[in-house]
Amino acid sequence: MARVLVGVKRVIDYAVKIRVKPDKSGVVTEGVKHSMNPFDEIAVEEAVKMKEKKLATEVVAVSCGPSQAQETLRTALAMGADRAIHVEVPAGDYETLQPIHISKILAKIAQDEKVDIVILGKQAIDDDSNQTAQMTAGVLDWPQATFASKVEKKDSELHVTREIDGGLENIKVKLPAVLSADLRLNEPRYATLPNIMKAKKKPLKKVTPKDLGVDISPRIQVISVEDPPVRQAGSIVPDVDTLVSKLKEKGHC
């Protein structure tokens, strides 16, 4: 029986149109709807499933960020996590918080909480880093199984199917281990009303990076955040001949 730690990140909801701040220092987050990173939802679902299959004893959700991160933790609790840890990072510091900092935080919590499996989303849809799971495994010196699309527990090993370029790879990892969840691992559940109510009463512990002995001083400086280039307007040509000559002109045929 294992204890599972899942990382959940609060990101701008994917149905929201992203806007760059006028001073180009970042994207507008104020008054913008956020939700749990979709890959983290998959990670939580997998952990909760493990618990339901009696492969795990306890699911602990952790999130780093300002106080709103607690909303995301409540969602994880409503989906079935048993308790939550909020690593408080003030909004100002959060802007320069990088996967390296998160990995150190997660590694420390994994050790303190004596977890056997860490499951993270393969990447967050805001910064698309895809580094946290790998670095967390590195810091802990544990085996890693990233981009998992299927996970089976056999004795003290996990059999993991990984989505790789051009196919699937089947690997075995010994516990403790770090996993990252790919899109097809499962379909996350909706939190039901009774579980949303129950989640309000589940324990949520607050710690700071300092408590964990992790230095979160920035290692990068954001110089400029730019909008992607706008697609140029097309033009209508009167007939096929003009179309063909235009295409030839531009070297398309």
Partner 1 sequence: MRRATSNLCANLWHSSSFRPANYSSHAALTKDRYKVQRGKYASLTDKDVRVFEEIVGKTRILTDDADVEAYNVDWLRSVRGFSKCVLKPKTTEEVSAILKYCNERVLAVCPQGGNTGLAGGSNPVFDEVVISTSLMNNILEFDSLSGVLSCQAGCVLEQLETFLLEQGHMMPLDLGAKGSCQIGGNVSTNAGGLRLVRYGSLHGNVLGIEAVLANGEIVNCMSKMKKDNTGYHLKHLFIGSEGTLGFVTKVAIQCPVNPKSINVALLGLESYDKVLEILKTSRRDLGEILSSCEMMDLDALKVVEENLKLRIPIKECPFYILIETSGSNSNHDEEKLALFLENALDKKVVLDGTQASEPSRIKQIFELRERIAEALLMDGFLYTYDFSLKPVDFYSIVPALREHLKNLPNVLRVNGFGHFGDGNLHLNVTSKEYSKEILNTIEPFVYEWVSKVGGSVSAEHGIGFKKTGAVKFSKTPQAIKLMQQMKGVMDPNGILNPYKVLPL
Please, what is the minimum distance in Å from the beta carbon of residue 31 to partner 1? 7
Rounded CA gap, 144 and 34, in Å?
Answer: 29
Q: How many beta carbons lie within 10 A of that of residue 236, not counting itself? A: 6
List the one residue from 192, 206, 219, 225 that touches partner 1 (CB under 8 A).
192
CA angle (86 as vertex; 118, 39 as ends), nearest 5: 45
Q: Does 233 bind partner 1 (CB under 8 A)?
A: no
Please, what is the minimum distance in Å from the beta carbon of residue 38 to partner 1? 5
Question: Of the candidates 130, 161, 115, which has an alpha carbon nearest to the alpha carbon of residue 40?
Answer: 130
Cα–chain center distance at 249? 46
First to last CA, the chain: 63
Amino acid 41 reads E
Rounded CA gap, 72 and 62, in Å?
Answer: 9
Please, what is the minimum distance in Å from the beta carbon of residue 214 to partner 1? 27
Q: Total residues at the site for partner 1 (CB under 8 A)?
A: 24
Site for partner 1 in 28-67 (CB under 8 A): 31, 33-35, 38
What residues does 172 pair with on adjacent strands? 159
Q: Both tokens of residue 234? A: 């097309």
Range in contact with partner 1 (rule: CB under 8 A) among 14-22, 109-117, 165-173, 215-223: 14-22
Of 109 and 191, which CB lies nearer to partner 1 in the complex structure?
Answer: 191
Q: Does 230 bind partner 1 (CB under 8 A)?
A: no
Which x/- pattern over 103-142 shows residues binding partner 1 (rule: CB under 8 A)?
A: --------------------x-xx-x--------------
Name the residues that contact partner 1, by CB under 8 A: 13-16, 18, 31, 33-35, 38, 123, 125-126, 128, 183, 187, 189-194, 196-197
